[in-house]
């Protein structure tokens, strides 16, 4: 079947089998390998993308479900000029990245949260990232990274805005 959707701000049309998972559509058809597969069962969150601004597991989503909708992957988070999003900057500054395999999903879950709520509390951050596993960091610095990004976005509201 042929579907069209918006991906990272661009219109995309692809021919896919109806049972194609969105993670495979992204990685195999579009070459967007920043979306990672950690479990294939929606248990780890490494494949998190935004579907109309809402974080979803791309491994559980069939391609038909994104037809005529808008998705954002990690490749679409930084500016077109390569400037990093404040969440990406903050993650680097506070040490929220170790092996980096969970990082794309973490950043997208954090982005969904901060797009909705610029000044979340610690518990709101934990709730928003509760579907994203990380084995390296112990999570403390990931929470710090989201809170630091929140501060920067509040101070410089022009950056990373939708």
Q: Among residue numbers 6 through 65, which ones bind another protein (CB under 8 A)?
A: 27, 31-41, 43-44, 46
| Shortest Cβ 95–another protein spacing (Å) | 4
**Residues in Cβ contact with 160 at an 8 Å cutoff, skipping those fewer than 6 apart:** 85, 86, 87, 111, 114, 149, 153
Q: Does 94 bind another protein (CB under 8 A)?
A: yes
- In the complex, the smallest distance separating the C-beta of residue 148 from another protein, rounded to whole angstroms, is 13
Q: Strands 10-15, 2-7: parallel, antiparallel or unpaired by DSSP?
A: antiparallel
- Residue 93 beta carbon to another protein: minimum distance, rounded to whole angstroms: 7
Q: How far is CA 7 from the centre of its chain?
A: 12
Least separation, in Å, of the C-beta of 155 and another protein? Answer: 20
Between 41 and 68, CB nearer to another protein = 41
Helix H, strand E, coil C: the string for 1-45 is CEEEEEECCEEEEEECCCCCEHHHHHHHHCCCCCCCCCCCCCCCC
Q: Given the complex with another protein, which of 12 and 38 has the nearer CB atom?
A: 38
Binding residues with another protein: total (CB under 8 A): 51
Do 107 and 49 touch, CB atoms closer than 8 A? Answer: no
Nearer to another protein, 51 or 102 (CB): 102
Residue 61 tokens read as 């989503």
Span of 60-68, 110-118, 126-134, 152-160 interacting with another protein by CB under 8 A: 126-134
* Residue placing its CB nearer to another protein in the complex, 3 or 108: 108
111 binds another protein (CB under 8 A): no
Strands (E) located in 8-162: 10-15, 48-51, 54-57, 70-72
Among 5, 56, 63, 91, the residue binding another protein under the rule CB under 8 A is 91
Length of the chain: 162
């Amino acid at each position: 079947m042929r579907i069209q959707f918006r991906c990272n701000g661009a219109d995309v049309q692809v021919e896919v089998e109806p049972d194609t998972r969105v993670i495979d559509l992204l990685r195999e058809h579009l070459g967007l390998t920043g979306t990672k597969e950690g479990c294939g069962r929606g248990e780890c969150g490494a494949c998190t993308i935004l579907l109309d601004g809402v974080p979803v597991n791309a491994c559980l989503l069939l391609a038909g479900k994104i037809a005529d909708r808008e998705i954002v992957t990690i490749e679409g988070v930084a500016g077109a000029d390569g400037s990093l999003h404040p969440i990406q900057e903050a993650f680097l500054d506070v040490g929220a990245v170790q092996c980096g395999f969970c990082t794309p999903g973490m950043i997208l879950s954090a982005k969904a949260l901060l797009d909705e709520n610029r000044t979340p509390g610690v518990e709101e951050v934990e709730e928003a990232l509760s579907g994203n596993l990380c084995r390296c960091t112990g999570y403390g610095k990931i929470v710090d990274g989201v809170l630091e990004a929140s501060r920067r976005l509040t101070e410089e509201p022009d950056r990373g805005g939708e």
